[in-house]
Amino acid sequence: MFLSITTTGTPDRPATDLGYLLHKHPEKAQAFSTSYGKAHVLYPEARPERCTAALMLEVDAVALVRKGKGKGRGGAPDAALAQYVNDRPYAASSLLAVALSGVFSSAMRGVCTARPERATQPLPLRIEVPALPARGGPALVRRLFEPLGWTVVVEPVALDPQFPEWGDSRYVRLELESATLTLAEALRHLYVLLPVLDDAKHYWVSDDEVDKLLRAGEGWLPEHPEQKLITSRYLSRRWSLTRQAMERLELVRLAESDDSEVEEIDNAVEAETEEEARPTPLAVQRRDAIIAALQASGAARVLDLGCGQGQLVQALLKDVRFTEIVGVDVSMRALTIASRRLKLDRMGERQASRVKLVQGSLAYTDKRLAGYDAAVLSEVIEHLDLPRLPALEYAVFGAARPRTVLVTTPNVEYNVRWESLPAGHVRHGDHRFEWTREEFRAWAGAVAERHGYDVEFVPVGPDDPEVGPPTQMAVFVIRTEKEAKAA
């Protein structure tokens, strides 16, 4: 059984930090005893640019049976033989998940004393599992991982490559990629979803499995569209436990939605105190500026890329000239809050036909985004690591190619005017960068040049004579009419 985790690095964030995050030194191959055999951790590659950690589990089939817990598949009359002759030693499965939580337990909890700040930040991740038993096949694999922000490549493994007519086996080769998750989140996804896909837990499911599931599912399971399937399979279809888990997940969800409202109120209060001299909070001024620019562009079908909790989508819905509004975000949690804010489930049919919320990452080309009049990226680019920005640039300006693109981002020069902001700090913990006006203009100018757009800049908020406005907006318009029609 084999699983590998790869990350890439930048000069100030070397990929080899993966060793700190996993608490396993890249230069040592290490072995750990687990109840079912030996687990090995080694690094096939450990360079500042790229680092791969591999987890291998040598399953001791006899130990598995001696534990008295090795269920053969299906409990058929040949179960006794199946205990010894089965796929357990070779395929990634629930055993690998157990090894994962044993060997990387601190990493799974997001604990990293050597690099505490990196443990809380998303990083580019690529996970490969060459042989994964997947009941439900590639389609289910996608339904489980994609809502969590993973780009999924999943290929069925043929029963025997020499005899393609025999068809596919129960196994898939899985490749996951994401740049929006922390390592702890990624490990917790695997810890839950590998056994869910395997759907043949090797050990007895006891009551504390519900606790384990809720702990590992924190932050993602309460909002997962396949929550019920995950819960029931994880708990080996023990209905009383499943029901208990579902009830507790619902409580978590409600508690979280309360939190988010508190957060919003806090933000509003903060925004108002920060800008007490001005009547309207900056977020509202930004929204108004965006809507005005969209109206001026004549757009009817609009994408809100990185829509967050859906405030702009909600405002656009009030204007009938916007006939189709699509909010896209990588965060399921944000989309769930957006959908509650919009009351999507209670909306009349006509109104509902104008709006859609879709989960997706802007760091990847997405066919669903083609053919719109305009796209908005409001306070989104600064949430991406700089090396990921070209990917977003291509996805929006190269592939989707709407006629108009609006991009807003903080003007870092203005930060000296926020009295509450300590010098040298960005405005939000998740901002990867904040640009001066010149830096933003240089980026936007180059993007426009590369993709055949014209670009103009609009200040949002009071335009300070020295440091400029708090928010800067670029308005991109595609160059030729011909292209506009084709798009």
Q: Please, which of residues 64-103 interact with ligand SAH by CB under 6 A?
A: none
Binder among 187, 210, 293, 363 for ligand SAH (CB under 6 A): 363
Kindly state whether residue 342 participates in binding ligand SAH, applying the rule CB under 6 A. no
Segment interacting with ligand SAH, rule: CB under 6 A, options 29-37, 65-73, 186-194, 330-338: 330-338
Q: Which is nearer to ligand SAH, 329 or 413 (CB)?
A: 329
Binding map of ligand SAH across residues 177-196, x = CB under 6 A, - = no contact = ---x----------------
Kindly state whether residue 329 participates in binding ligand SAH, applying the rule CB under 6 A. yes
Q: Please, which of residues 368-387 interact with ligand SAH by CB under 6 A?
A: 378-380, 383-384
Residues whose CB is less than 8 angstroms from the CB of residue 313 and which lie 6 or more positions away in sequence, other chains included: 304, 307, 325, 327, 338, 342, 355, 357
Q: Which is nearer to ligand SAH, 22 or 362 (CB)?
A: 362
Segment interacting with ligand SAH, rule: CB under 6 A, options 167-175, 192-200, 209-217, 361-369: 361-369
Q: Which is nearer to ligand SAH, 140 or 184 (CB)?
A: 184
Binding map of ligand SAH across residues 309-328, x = CB under 6 A, - = no contact = --x-----------------
Binder among 46, 362, 405, 478 for ligand SAH (CB under 6 A): 362
Kindly state whether residue 308 participates in binding ligand SAH, applying the rule CB under 6 A. yes
Kindly state whether residue 281 participates in binding ligand SAH, applying the rule CB under 6 A. no
Residue closest to ligand SAH (Cβ): 308
Binder among 176, 186, 330, 357 for ligand SAH (CB under 6 A): 330
How many CA atoms lie less than 13 Å away from 105 in the CB half-sphere? 7
Q: Which is nearer to ligand SAH, 98 or 186 (CB)?
A: 186
Q: Which is nearer to ligand SAH, 97 or 384 (CB)?
A: 384
Segment interacting with ligand SAH, rule: CB under 6 A, options 66-74, 104-112, 136-144, 355-363: 355-363
Minimum CB separation of residue 329 from ligand SAH in Å reads 5
Binder among 361, 404, 471, 472 for ligand SAH (CB under 6 A): 361
Kindly state whether residue 307 participates in binding ligand SAH, applying the rule CB under 6 A. yes
Residues that bind ligand SAH (CB under 6 A): 180, 306-308, 311, 329-331, 334, 361-363, 378-380, 383-384
